[in-house]
Structure 1
Amino acid sequence: MKNNVIYILTFFATWAMAASCQKDFLEVKPTDKVSQEFLLADSTLFEAFVTNRYLGVRLQDKEDIPGFGRGFTWAMWSSLSDECIYNNDDNTWLIVRGQLAPENLGIAGTVWGRSYRSIRECNYALANISKVPFSEGHRKMLAAELRFIRAYRYFDLLTNYGGAILMGDKVYNLGDDLSDPALFARSTIKQTVDYILAELSAAAPDLPAANSDSWKLGRATNGAALALKARMALYAASPLYNAGTWAAAAAAAKAVMDLNRYSLHTGGYANLFLTPESNEIIFERLYTKNASHFPLEIASAPNGYGAWGGNTPLQNLVDDYETTSGKSITDPTSGYNPQDPYSNRDPRLAASILYNTANYRGRAVETFTPGGRDSKDGNENWNTSKTGYYTRKFQNDAYPINNPWDVAGFQPWIYMRFAEVLLNYAEAQNEAVGPDATVYDAVNRIRQRQGVGMPPLPAGLSQAEMRARIRNERRVELAFEEHRFYDVRRWKIADVTENVPAYGIDVVKNGNTFTYTRKVALTGRLFQTKHYWLPIPRAEIQASNNKITQNEGY
């Protein structure tokens, strides 16, 4: 089947409402904007407007054309968690060091503004779609698509800031009376959750089951709406939100599973992230030539290959990959050898992280000193990883590292995939009724997927033991996919995980042997209770004439 891929539409990147004015010889119509009159009269143009709502505007430096979340770019969202650090900072360290403030949110500073801009655009389209010459069936699908996009934007607002300002279907314009404080009143978390769930429930029946010639790749299907609903329901039941039930979250995930439309990728775990039409992928973004994102290969590969280091994994994450025995490396019976630390480990480690001696592009990675080509003794040592690791996941070795512009960076960014749905179900079902057979089955399907082949979970786990195994499975299966930042917050364990030092590894070569020593790669990691939510940018509060309520602690 075809899957959801977001193509960047370059022919309709901006629009504006045309104001009436006296026509004279000085009037010049801008060539980069489309008037409301033309937009509503041309069904092709209006549909392009709808599909472009999957994208956002670039609002700060080092930010490609964004979609939902951050995706592929210089610093990935994983570098704000205990998965990675971004080697050259780029406004990430202030967040992991607990220094973010309403005046400076670093790379997290654009979520609020971009989300509400997109919500207004969706509301405008919904308010005017009846004026556009579509068949009634197609009009219903487009309206459902807009409601899906709008719900996703509210999901971003909720997961970053808590209760959102719900705009309904209202379209506000310049000159409108905005003096009513109710316009800026934030809803509760539960009200926001209920709104998102209701919107996705309403959108799903009118969305197509799959992409087709008439419903192009990159657009929401009913599977995408149901998968986002399942994620929302899982978050809602989690301790931070406390706005739903685990039983409802399990049922929402089971609804996606019962579609019998998605399955785990059979071409190997690493290849999944290079394969845009895998049946595992429920919703994704694909980049096209001349509209590519910043190529991950040059951004995050080792300095010895001419790359820039970029998003460098932490020892904290590496330690959580089990051995092939299915046991934690802290278990003395696991077979783990700290001086041969990467042998006999979960295959997803090698598929996700480049470590000393890992095979990459025809040679072994050399993070050791002295003399390692991917160490501080190697090429362009200012790009050397501070952690001793480099990112492997998502990289396509067919793409060049040197001079990759417009010929690399076309791998998909996956928003939702079937493995996440299985893990969502397992977590919710375990919390609702305990570790029954369906919980084991969901987790073991992922552990034993082709290209991974980890042992099944041991029988007889308690609910708490199963909870720990599911959380660790999410950690390694979904690494770098923008889940960890939100998972540790919704579980309310970020005050523990984000206050552990950012560890790396020092590798020293002596003859033919290596010595591995843990180190602190970035000092000052700090998480406080207020950091469970981002602060609302000060500029947004000031623009409301101080009517928007700031999050507690800021």
Structure 2
Amino acid sequence: MKNIGIYLVLLFTIASCESDLNQVPPLEAESSSLKSYAEVLNAAYHYQQASVTPLAVMGDFRADNMLMKEAPYPAFDRFDKDLAGGDLVEQFFRPFYSNLYKSILSANNVIDNSTVAKEVGEAHFLRALSYFKLVKAFGDVTVNLSATPSLSDKSILTRQPAAKVYEEVIIPDFLVAISALDNSSLSSGRASKIAAQGMLAKVYMQRGDFASAAPLLAEVINGASAAKLGLRPNFSDVFGEANDLNSEILYATQFSTSINDLYSFSQFSEWFKGNDTKSPNPLDPDLITAFDANPGDLRKDVTIDVANNKGKKWGSLDQDWIELRYADILLLYAEALNETGSSAATVLSILDPIRTRAGISVLDAASLDTKEKVRKAILDERRLELALEGQRWFDLVRTGTVDAEMGQTVNTNFYVFPIPNSEVLASGGAITQNPGY
């Protein structure tokens, strides 16, 4: 039973205008008369579901973990303007784009009107998470922080620099969430203090601000025991519907087949398993090679099915999508320490429990004796630990290793993805397309 989705009452937030950014549903003017905003907050959670399948495809199929087979979808494996063509941009990027803005609008309603501090904290978390996903995917984005944006104010359609969105929206929102929340809701799947700390650290890492990330990651690690968080004994225990909301999960987007996930024609698990006709036999041989470089790695058989050329980490359609887990925190902490001058021995020791759980030997600090070597070792470890979790492409972009890992020179225009053409057209050109598309 899913704790959030089952009891959703979408109220007025289900409605939208042609352009989802400036949607103002018909009942919006009456929102301040509501006595309870719990259902509006649930809507903000619910809209996150539609971001998951596109995010998974962007994170792994754009990178060197998964492949597309059926035209025109191999455009995900190329780096040119074709990715913006026709069905591709509307099928993958419009649900991602439009539903995140719906989540933002729902969060705005709670922030502006609720008198329940915990609800407001969760809404700030969800708004920050939404903008974080949007900025990683598209770079500069439009910003709306009002529950009742004016349809006549075209300035809200102007895309804001990503750096400004980080500084003025994402970071402040996560900081508010950290102050407003505790960890009592971890087992229910709702936003928590430690999840907000972890997400903010991930934001700092995405920006290359290792000095800000390191102490925050240390706080998460030091507070994990009290929050009943840590690595699961077995890697296989992290995944599967039966393991949803387990003790390694800081935050996950919940799924239930009893609730329309707003991306009804497909779901992330089916893409990885090759059950969608656009990506039969989707496993990239390069990922097999990466696992084979670590003989005996127990993660391989949990993650991929080499015989049938598919991924297997995700099973049931009711399985939650993991947004942040403890192993990711450890890997990020090791990376932050390496970038801020800690010794190889100190840094690599943080990876020891991850590698021991995987059944492989710990890394030797004597042979990885430079920052560059340790950096590459951490990136490789992230690939194997987090494969098929929508992380790989965004890791390559933020670490500046796209060309080296993809084996080709990629124009930086294609580090981000195309804005849905429907949004550009609906805005009358106020929303501009990314260069190269």
The equivalent of 1:167 in structure 2 is 144
- How far apart are residue 434 of structure 1 and its match? 4.1
Quick one: structure 1 residues 298 and 424, their matched pair in 2 at CA, closer, same or farther if it must change by over 3 Å?
closer
The equivalent of 2:109 in structure 1 is 124
1:96 to 77, 81, 87: 77
Quick one: structure 1 residues 40 and 435, their matched pair in 2 at CA, closer, same or farther if it must change by over 3 Å?
farther
Superposed CA RMSD in Å reads 3.3
The equivalent of 2:312 in structure 1 is 392
1:431 to 330, 333, 339: 339
Task: Work out which of the two has the higher radius of gyration on C-alpha atoms and give 1 or 2.
Answer: 1
Quick one: structure 1 residues 222 and 69, their matched pair in 2 at CA, closer, same or farther if it must change by over 3 Å?
farther
- How far apart are residue 9 of structure 1 and its match? 3.7
Distance 1:436 1:201 in 2: 31
Paired residue type of 2:142: I
Distance 1:549 1:307 in 2: 32
Contact 1:7 1:286 in 2 (8 A): yes
- How far apart are residue 280 of structure 1 and its match? 0.8
Quick one: structure 1 residues 297 and 95, their matched pair in 2 at CA, closer, same or farther if it must change by over 3 Å?
closer
Contact 2:32 2:113 in 1 (8 A): no
- How far apart are residue 531 of structure 1 and its match? 0.2
Contact 2:69 2:280 in 1 (8 A): yes
The equivalent of 1:506 in structure 2 is none
Contact 2:189 2:252 in 1 (8 A): yes
Instruction: Give deviations 1:221-259, integer Å, cap 9, x for gaps.
Output: 11111111011010011xxxxxxx221122222121121
1:248 aligns with 2:232: no
- How far apart are residue 35 of structure 1 and its match? 7.9
- How far apart are residue 497 of structure 1 and its match? 3.3
Query: For 1:81-92, what aligned pairs fall within 5 Å after superposition?
Result: 81-88=63-70, 92=73
Contact 1:87 1:312 in 2 (8 A): yes
SS of the aligned residue for 1:55 comes to helix
Q: TM-score, normalised by structure 2?
A: 0.83
- How far apart are residue 49 of structure 1 and its match? 1.7
Task: Count how many residue pairs are aligned between Structure 1 and Structure 2.
Answer: 411
Structure with the larger RCO, 1 or 2 (CA within 8 Å, 6+ apart):
2
Quick one: structure 1 residues 273 and 39, their matched pair in 2 at CA, closer, same or farther if it must change by over 3 Å?
farther
- How far apart are residue 486 of structure 1 and its match? 0.8
1:540 to 413, 423, 426: 423
Contact 2:201 2:217 in 1 (8 A): yes
Instruction: Give deviations 1:431-452, integer Å, cap 9, x for gaps.
Output: 1114444312211121112xx1
2:61 to 79, 102, 107: 79
Contact 2:344 2:374 in 1 (8 A): no
The equivalent of 1:13 in structure 2 is 10
Contact 2:68 2:278 in 1 (8 A): no
Query: For 1:358-437, what aligned pairs fall within 5 Å after superposition?
Result: 389-395=309-315, 408-437=316-345
Q: TM-score, normalised by structure 1?
A: 0.66
Distance 1:464 1:16 in 2: 48
Q: Which moved more, 1:117-126 or 1:479-488?
A: 117-126
Paired residue type of 2:74: W
- How far apart are residue 100 of structure 1 and its match? 1.6
Structure (1/2) with the larger helix percentage:
2
Structure (1/2) with the larger strand percentage:
1
The equivalent of 2:353 in structure 1 is 445
Instruction: Give deviations 1:471-512, integer Å, cap 9, x for gaps.
Output: 000000000000002111122222343456xxxxxxxxxxxx
Paired residue type of 1:393: K
Paired residue type of 2:39: A
Show structure 2 runs of 5+ residues with no match: 16-25
2:286 to 316, 323, 328: 316
SS of the aligned residue for 2:323 comes to strand
1:208 aligns with 2:182: yes
1:54 aligns with 2:48: no
1:345 aligns with 2:278: no
- How far apart are residue 352 of structure 1 and its match? 1.0
Sequence identity percentage: 24
